[in-house]
A and B are shown apart, each in its own frame.
Chain A
Amino acid sequence: MDWTTTQLVGKSLPNGQDVKCRDRESAITKTDQGNAAKDRTIQISICGSTPLLWRSVDIKQSRDEVGVIGTLIGSLARQPRQNNRLGRPLEILKEEARLLLETGEATDVRHPDKSKKVSESGESHLNAVQLYQARLDRSYEEQCSLALEEKKAVLHRVMDEKQNNHTGNEGPERAVRERLCSLEKSFSFPRSAMAVQLCTARAGFSHCPEELAFLAADWPEPRDKHSEARFRVYKDLRRKGFYLTAAGKFGGDYLVYPGDPLRFHAHFIALCMPMDESSPLSDILTIARLGSNVKKTVLLCSPRDPSDSQVEGDVVYSSLQWSGMV
């Protein structure tokens, strides 16, 4: 066995990646500095102790700008009864949530719009209901006219076809014309045929439930040594341009992707170990075995103590390799 203490991360990457890393770094620092200019923030909602993103703009923004991947955990709107592709909400790692908060891109909405909603008992609630009903009525009317238009368009098209095909025979054409005339009077669009939206994210006009107590659970969780180590490793790898997702399945802390996980396979399983913590060799062998089984390299990631290292926030990466000596 050899211990390879490396810049494995830096070395194994093609040049393009390095460029991207630098870009990323600058992007992050930029958001650090000039955040005041941002006109909208990402809203993290906490369910139990799980940070969730609900709005698709938030999800896109956090992926595009901060590289937050997360996992979709809801049913997909388009096809709810399957598990291959899931939909909103997006569950994000605690580290991702922390990064979002630290970069100032996000606020946690544990008590969403509390100031506004607390007073919403009497009149404003009534208003909200009225607004909802009015919207519904207007939507019905508009859909009614849209349906009529559509029907007319269909009949017109049929009439045109008839005209083109049978110039001699006037019978069917006239019938269609008559139907078109009577359509205005006879057309009915049942209310049950109206399309309504079942909002995914909080819609705004709905009543905000009082029971938000459970949301006030222990979040952010008390930070211990291990969670600190995890966060520093997360930040460092992210800064180097890697994409990270949870690796519970693989017995590690993160799965490390060279590009967007949508298109690329993970190369590493990152395991965070505080520098001064000793761990039994058997544990390391176990994870190394697992890594080779799934054809991924296991990275042991130890954040360097900020006090005694020159470079702040540096993380030491090591991997275990079978030496090939018999």
Chain B
Amino acid sequence: MAANDGVPEALQVLLSDELLSPSELFKERSRSHKIPVKGQKEFLPDGSDQQRARLQKSLDEHWTLVAEERVERLGNLVSAEWIPKEKLVKLLSPAGKFWQTMGFSDRGKQCLLPEEALYLMECGSVQVFYKDLPLSIQEGYECLLSPETMTLHQYQVFGHLKRLGYVVNRFDPSQVPSLYERQLNLPLPRDMQSKQLKRKRSQSPGSRLCEKQSATTMEQTTVEGECKGEVQIREPDLGHVAPEQGTTQQTSQDKSMECVANSDGASARNWWTDMSGQAQAAAAQAAAPRWDFSCIVFPDLGSHRANSATLAAPDPSLLPGALEVGECKVAHWLRKLNLKKERLSRRDWERQRERDRYKRDINDDREVRRCRNWMEYLDLMEKRRSQQHKERPAHLWEQKVTPLTHPGQCISHRELLEQISIIPSCDLLEGASRLPWSDKWRICFNVYQPDTVAEFKKSHPGKPYTRLCVCSFDGPVPDLCVIKQLSILSGDVPVTFAVVDHGDISFYCFKEFKLPTDIY
């Protein structure tokens, strides 16, 4: 393959013997791109001629593949320049198809990160120049890889995944929403907006909330003044109930229509959150409720379908600000309601009865059914509670030390254990934010699956499939502390460890495992 073809000696440049001559280059244009298949391996060398011949054939194929050089048409190559100071590769001609998933623009110039440039060099898509001379792949490895930019191990993982078609980019911790932000479900600036946008296309968080609410209100109205909200009222710890649940009492008036009519998610959300604040306040101070439940009438759409084609206008004092709500036509809603009587097969019926043995339906309670509004219901509950207290044995409940739970409060072991919380269950992220930070381990890459490449946008990459931490079999195994740190750093995206061992790359991850517990 050697061809030094008459280099003037005066130049004193040692040319590699792997350079191809023009005729060889020309021939290479039409070479095969097939890879010979490796045959089945054998167990032991037996010294036979056939075996030797097979080995020779494999070796010949191997050497052909290994010795082959990259030959590309000049027109298919994107040329670029390596800028060592900035640790960047700037493109000198327009980028190719790879631009969809790689590279970035810096002051109007198309740039590639070192690992991207090196990978594209290896793919034969980009020719990188440095001081007007092209870099060989070897020189690419030597200049583009460094501990500050990308180590060889990291590049090996990068290349491995890129070759498989994954979209891989560098991980930037500042792009991950903090735990607090996630809990608040805050829309995030910049790249997180993409998620927001995507979600909006299907269902924006605001509108989803709204829909959910209308769904619950619909349910409520259909069950004819029954109180689904009773759980919230009875339990003292309404504080941590999600706001939309708290509002159900109010929404169960006649706001459901509005909610639906109000298609703008954001404003709808504000409005309901507002309401829920009031609702919580109201429920918290049960002694002096802000709302006079006795005069708030539940709309009843379910049973008397004939005589309620419209709902009366709500009391203006219950509405915020200058909102005007007139009579509401419910005819088209009624048409959507399924008022057919449920017909159960014998088996279904038995199954339901089986289920009901453990679950008490509040609607089975005659006294509850007799309640006409929330006020009466609350009174009833209060009455019962005080009755219950009277029934309790004095020697247990009237002293300083009382039982940890009330009888009947907890149905299962698990509930009981949670209630008394002697052994609090711990989850992987608990306390992670307080751990001392170590620099030894860091997340290197965001990885997106190959099937998302078509829709992938660099400006809005969305949520990665996983994030990668590159390590080596020579190094230590990450301890729990490290795993906690990395997973909190990664947010709600799983962290995978890529272990590089002499060219072999294995991927593994640690998953939190919850031991199965009893269901009831």
Q: How far is the CB of A70 from chain B (nearest CB, A)?
A: 8
Q: Is B516 engaged at the interface, CB distance under 8 Å to the other chain?
A: no
A147 pairs with B26, CB closer than 8 A: yes
Within 17-73 of B, Cβ neighbours of A (below 8 Å) are at 17-20, 22-23, 25-26, 28-29, 31-33, 35, 38-39, 41-47, 51, 54-55, 58-59, 62-63, 65-73
B18:A200 contact, CB within 8 angstroms = yes
Q: Are B75 and A193 in contact (CB under 8 A)?
A: yes
B-facing residues in A240-261 (Cβ within 8 Å): 245-246, 248-249, 258-260
A14 touches B47 (CB 8 A): yes
Residue A190, interface by CB 8 Å: yes
Q: Which of the residues A17, A86, A191 comes within 8 Å of B74, measured between beta carbons?
A: A191
Count of CB-CB pairs between chains A and B under 8 Å: 277
A163 within 8 A of B: no
Interface: A77 (CB within 8 A): yes
Q: In whole Å, how far is B80's beta carbon from the nearest beta carbon of chain A?
A: 12
Contacts of A259 on B, CB cut-off 8 Å? 42, 44-45, 55
Inter-chain CA distance A14–B46, complex, in Å, is: 7
Interface membership of A263, Cβ < 8 A: yes
B66 touches A72 (CB 8 A): yes
Question: Which A117-142 residues have a C-beta within 8 angstroms of B?
Answer: 124-125, 127-129, 131-132, 138-139, 141-142
Please measure, in the bound complex, the distance between the C-alpha atom of A93 and the C-alpha atom of B54, giving whole angstroms.
Answer: 27
Contact of B141 among A47, A194, A211, A249 (CB under 8 A): A47
Closest residue of chain A to B502 (Cβ to Cβ) is A246
> Which among B157-165, B251-259, B265-273, B400-408 touches the partner chain?
B157-165
B72 touches A91 (CB 8 A): no
- The reply to whether A203 and B15 contact each other, CB–CB distance below 8 Å, is yes
A55 within 8 A of B: yes
Contact at A14–B503, with CB atoms within 8 Å?
A: no
Q: A52 contacts which chain B residues (CB < 8 A)?
A: 141
Which residue of chain B lies nearest to A196 when distances are taken between CB atoms in the complex?
Answer: B74
Chain B interface: which size bin?
35 or more
Question: Is there a chain A Cβ closer than 8 Å to B11's Cβ?
Answer: yes
B137, CB-defined interface residue at 8 Å: yes
Are B26 and A199 touching (Cβ within 8 A)? no
The interface stretch among A56-64, A231-239, A272-280, A285-293 is: A56-64
With contacts A59-B66, A132-B133 taken as known, whether A83 is within 8 angstroms of B59 at the C-beta atoms is no
Find out whether the CB atom of A78 lies under 8 angstroms from the CB atom of B33. yes
B127 contact set on A, CB distance < 8 A: 196, 198
Closest to A92 in B: B502
Quick check: B22 and A142 within 8 Å, CB to CB?
yes
A1 at the interface (CB under 8 A from B): no
Q: Are A207 and B22 in contact (CB under 8 A)?
A: no
Count A interface residues, CB 8 Å. Answer: 90
A201 touches B45 (CB 8 A): no
Q: Which of B143-151, B172-180, B181-189, B422-430 contacts A (4 or more CB under 8 A)?
A: B143-151
Smallest beta-carbon distance A18→chain B, Å: 11
**CB atoms of A203 and B136 under 8 A apart:** yes
If over half of A's interface residues share one DSSP class (helix, strand or loop), that class is named, otherwise mixed; here it is mixed
Instruction: Give the docked Cα–Cα distance between A91 and B500 (Å).
Output: 12
Question: In the docked arrangement, what's the CA distance between A1 and B130, Å?
Answer: 63
A139 to B133, CA, bound (A): 16
Given contacts A198-B127, A204-B13, A246-B502, contact A75 B139 (CB under 8 A): no
B160 touches A83 (CB 8 A): yes
- Chain B residues with CB under 8 Å of A24's CB are none
CB distance from B23 to the nearest CB of A (A): 6
Q: When the two chains form their complex, are residues B74 and A193 in contact, meaning their CB atoms are under 8 A apart?
A: yes
Contact check, A200 vs B138: say whether CB atoms are below 8 A apart. yes
A35 at interface (Cβ–Cβ under 8 A)?
A: no
Instruction: Specify which of A54, A56, A73, A127 is in contact with B11 (CB 8 Å cutoff).
Output: A127
* Distance, CA A14 to CA B22, complexed state (A): 50
Q: Which of B117-125, B216-224, B386-394, B432-440 contacts A (4 or more CB under 8 A)?
A: B117-125
Q: Are A212 and B7 in contact (CB under 8 A)?
A: no
Contact assessment for B42 and A200 in the assembled complex, using a CB-CB cutoff below 8 Å:
no
Q: Taking the complex as formed, is B142 at the interface, i.e. its CB lies under 8 A from any CB of chain A?
A: yes
Q: Does A50 contact B (CB under 8 A)?
A: yes
Once the chains bind, are B65 and A85 in contact (CB under 8 Å)? yes
| Among A47, A72, A265: residue with most chain B CB under 10 A | A47
Say if the beta carbon of A215 comes within 8 Å of chain B.
yes
Contacts of A260 in B (CB 8 A): 55, 58-59
B474 to chain A: closest residue by CB: A248
* Chain B residues with CB below 8 A from A187, complex form: none
List, in ascending order, chain A residues with CB within 8 A of B14's CB.
113, 116, 204
Give chain A residues whose Cβ lies under 8 Å from the Cβ of B42. 259, 263-265
Distance, CA A78 to CA B32, complexed state (A): 8
Q: With A74-B122, A91-B503 as given contacts, are A263 and B58 in contact (CB-CB < 8 Å)?
A: yes
A-B contact pairs, 22 of them (CB 8 A): A14-B45, A14-B46, A52-B141, A74-B122, A80-B163, A82-B35, A90-B66, A139-B25, A142-B23, A142-B26, A146-B26, A195-B29, A199-B18, A200-B136, A200-B138, A201-B18, A209-B143, A246-B502, A248-B499, A262-B55, A262-B59, A263-B55
* B interface residues (Cβ-Cβ under 8 A, vs A): 7, 11-20, 22-23, 25-26, 28-29, 31-33, 35, 38-39, 41-47, 51, 54-55, 58-59, 62-63, 65-75, 77, 84, 119, 121-124, 127, 130-139, 141-143, 145-147, 151-153, 156, 159-160, 162-165, 473, 499, 501-504, 506
| A-B CB proximity, top 7 nearest | A192-B75, A248-B501, A71-B503, A246-B502, A16-B47, A142-B22, A199-B136
